[in-house]
A = this chain, B = another copy of it.
Amino acid sequence: MRYKVTVCYDGTNYCGWQVQKNGTSIQTVIEHALEVITKTPSSIASSGRTDAKVHARGQVFHFDSDANLKEDQWVKALNANLPEDIVIRSVEKADDLFHSRFDAVWKRYSYTVNMGEYDPFKRHYEYEYNRRLDVRSMREASKYLIGTHDFSAFNANSPEERPNQVRTIYEITVRESKGRVILEYVGNGFLRYMVRMMTQTLIEVGKKKIKPEKVKELLDAAKKNSVPFNAPPEGLCLEEVGYTEYESGISPVSK
């Protein structure tokens, strides 16, 4: 039986989703929990990697098992065997052909920047920029990113690794709440560091270091390494992975 799982994690103490030489990966910890439950080696496949210190509220992965457990029993058993910073939100029976990565139709990421005073309680969950940004200019600049573009400029993969760098961004919202700027991105896929590179570029606009139109220029040039900006990982969160056509209207992130 194949299962589709939604998982929420605080990525602070991990080297990211993917197994790495150094540090503990989220994938390893979840596979270990599955092995404890099923007594057999298990492997899981996610909708995509998240980098070190990046969070997820709605990462999705799938796994196969013949263990005779109901969906809610899987949730309980997994959470009982996971540390307090990784939480399974749901386990659903899936089609045998379901694939968390190949079937994903869209993803939604949020990025939070604190413009107010340094907040030690949120330091792992937002970028502590702690200075004012021009949010209106950031919103203006974000419009250039929406649509289907070659995102080569906003990409850390090598072209060999990821030859097609055309992606579609359906929606970007830039809103202000409690001294924070919260950016949300919905797209059909994101290249490595793409959200963080776009975000830092918009932050540079907010600092008035570059003009909003510069974003269009960078996009149009579609030249790798032309964007030297990469926002810190702690502000980033994978909010949701969609498996049906995206319907516009981002619901506000509950913070």
Question: Which residues of A pack against B, CB within 8 Å?
Answer: 8-10, 55, 84-87, 89, 117-118, 120-121, 123, 125, 178, 254
Are B254 and A120 closer than 8 Å at their CB atoms?
A: no
Chain A's interface: helix, strand, loop or mixed, by majority? Answer: loop
Provide the bound-state CA to CA distance between A103 and B9, in Å: 44
Q: Which of B9, B84, B87, B118 contacts A87 (CB 8 A)?
A: B118
Provide the bound-state CA to CA distance between A96 and B71, in Å: 66
Closest to A116 in B: B254
Mind listing 7 A-B residue pairs with CB under 8 Å?
A: A8-B120, A9-B120, A10-B120, A10-B121, A10-B123, A84-B123, A85-B123
Are A55 and B118 closer than 8 Å at their CB atoms?
A: no
Provide the bound-state CA to CA distance between A117 and B178, in Å: 23
Provide the bound-state CA to CA distance between A55 and B123, in Å: 14
Are B84 and A120 closer than 8 Å at their CB atoms?
A: yes
- Measured between beta carbons, the chain B residues less than 8 angstroms from A86 are 120
Are A85 and B120 closer than 8 Å at their CB atoms?
A: yes
Provide the bound-state CA to CA distance between A89 and B87, in Å: 34
Having A8-B120, A9-B120, one finds 14 other A-B pairs with CB under 8 Å, namely: A10-B120, A10-B121, A10-B123, A55-B121, A84-B120, A84-B123, A85-B120, A85-B123, A86-B120, A87-B118, A87-B120, A89-B117, A121-B125, A178-B254
Closest to A123 in B: B84
- Measured between beta carbons, the chain B residues less than 8 angstroms from A121 are 10, 55, 125
Provide the bound-state CA to CA distance between A84 and B232, in Å: 16
Q: How distant is A182 from chain B, measured CB to nearest CB, in Å? A: 14
Provide the bound-state CA to CA distance between A87 and B123, in Å: 12
Q: How distant is A245 from chain B, measured CB to nearest CB, in Å? A: 27
Closest to A83 in B: B120
